[in-house]
Amino acid sequence: MNFLLMLILLLLNTQLCFSFTVIMSDSGGPSSLQDGPQPGLSASSNGARTDAGEQEAVYDIMRATGNVWATDIPDVCRGRWHGIECMPDKDNVFHVVSLSFGALSDDTAFPTCDPTRSYISPSITKLRHLRTLFFYRCFSDNSRPIPSFLGQLGPSLQTLVLRENGHFGLIPHELGNLTRLTVLDLHRNNLNGSIPVSLGRITGLRSLDLSCNRLSGSIPNISFPSLNVLDLNQNHLMGPLPIPLLSTTSLMKIDLSRNRISGQIPNIKNLEDLVLFDLSYNALAGPFPNSLNGLKSLQALILNGNPFVSTVIPDNAFEGLNNLMILGLSNMNLGGPIPESMGRLTRLRILHLNGNQLNGTIPSSFSNLNGLSELKLDNNRLTGPVPFRRERVWRMGRKLSLGNNIGLCYDAKSGLGDDLDTLSSAGIGHCDSPKNVPTNSVQHITTLDDDDHVLKASTKSDYSLAKRITICRQIVWMAAVFLFISCLL
């Protein structure tokens, strides 16, 4: 794991985490609860008690998750286990505002669920003041659809997290009744069918994560004016990119990777806060949109694995993307030369252009890419000298892949000859050597074994980028959970 990259991704995610903090601390439901610090329910706080109906409902919910111990607690708000949060109203009656379940880590003490027989009790609809409902890995061995009665939690619920619970079937359209939700997270279940249009009623949504399900159909033409995070990756979504959703100026993260989305990338403008834009492994076609230059905050643009067949990268394609650190354009069947202007993306750390039909030389401007730590140019039709100094080649080491091109070579004066290990494993010879005449260079320089090695290396690196991004997602998630937990404490 590249430490520097981790650092970048961490920094990148601080912004997302920050938005999560805002989300998590956003309280103020329609009820008349007293906000601010929750007064301790000590014996001396005379008269304070938990709403009797809610108390019974909590017992039901705890029984339904295998937490029978809780029914021995005479006052659940006084029980103060991690995972329940209450607030008093003006008459000093306490109401349940948050319930959380699931072992997130060894350090969190949310009640765990008995996975073989847990379910969500319908009594949950009696918690009229509930703002947060959180179930993590609770029902995996007793999987059921998401209950539609959750829609009855109506306008008080702000955060609904049903993560990795084995829920299958459709997303109930009743969830559209949760019009005050800011966070809807149904990550990694077995949900199928299409995304309900009714979700468009949740106008204040900031984070929508439906990733890792089996959702199909087109992404509906709905929009959320305050959306920060849109994550629909790893589903079976098809049809065109959703223009209304992608026009939401508050977006910071868009991940629609690993679906079956087709058509072209529309002109998206004004997404000045967008940090991550991942459309990789879909069925999108060229040309490149000419509007990316408005994405001033963009740090990662990942389009790998879309069939942009023979599309030439325009010289100004990435103009204005001054914060770009990760650019993934591999396995897209791009043709023509690598634009010289790419060398002006001076913050680039990771550049993947492998698996295309790119021809011509590596632009000399690439020697300006001082932060580059990973460069994949293998499996193209590139020719001419490698424009890097020895130090850079040495620093990138195995993360530089140049193999399987038709005529890349090194200039003796660059001092690169001393790094024959790196270069020859990538199939690169001396520019003046007759070996490097394009017609026979491939046979001469790379044996079958070498080829195989380079190919494997490049596939692996694609995975490693994906893996890093997954890890980065996990970091965001863990950070969010951490903040969320700190809010609860």
Ligand X SMILES: *[C@@H]1O[C@H](CO)[C@@H](O)[C@H](O)[C@H]1NC(C)=O
What is the binding site for ligand X (CB under 6 A)? 151-152, 154, 168-169, 173-174, 176-177, 192-193, 198, 218, 220-221, 239, 243, 335-336, 359-360
125 near 149, Cβ under 8 Å? yes
- Residues near 334 by Cβ (< 8 Å), separated by ≥ 6? 308, 310, 311, 312, 313, 353, 356, 357, 358
358: enclosing H helix or E strand: strand 357-361
Identity of the residue, 11 or 243, whose beta carbon is nearer to ligand X in the bound complex: 243
Instruction: Please give the Cα distance from 53 to 34 (Å, whole number).
Output: 19
The whole-angstrom separation of Cα 219 and Cα 424 is: 47
What stretches of 172-290 adopt beta strand conformation (E)?
Answer: 183-185, 190-191, 207-209, 216-218, 229-231, 236-238, 253-255, 262-264, 276-278, 283-285
CA 261 → CA 207, 239, 265, 271, 429, distances in Å?
Answer: 21, 5, 10, 21, 41
By C-beta, is 100 or 235 nearer to ligand X? 235
> DSSP E strands: which ranges in 138-232?
159-163, 168-169, 183-185, 190-191, 207-209, 216-218, 229-231
Please report how close the Cβ of residue 154 comes to ligand X at its closest, in angstroms: 6
The b-or-e profile of 408-424 (16+ CB within 10 A means b, else e) is bbbeeebebeebeebbe
> What is the CB-side half-sphere exposure of residue 249 using CA atoms within 13 A?
4
CB of 398 to ligand X, least distance (A): 28
* Beta carbon of residue 242, minimum distance to ligand X (angstroms, whole number): 7
Amino acid at 39: P
Nearest distance in Å: CB 360, ligand X: 4
Scan for tokens 């989300």, then name that residue. Answer: 23
Around Cβ 431, how many Cβ atoms within 10 Å?
Answer: 18
The residue ranges of DSSP E strands in 102-224, in sequence order, are: 132-136, 159-163, 168-169, 183-185, 190-191, 207-209, 216-218
Whole-number CA gyration radius for the chain: 27
How is residue 395 written in tokens? 């620093």
* Nearest alpha-carbon partner for 274 in 242, 300, 252: 252
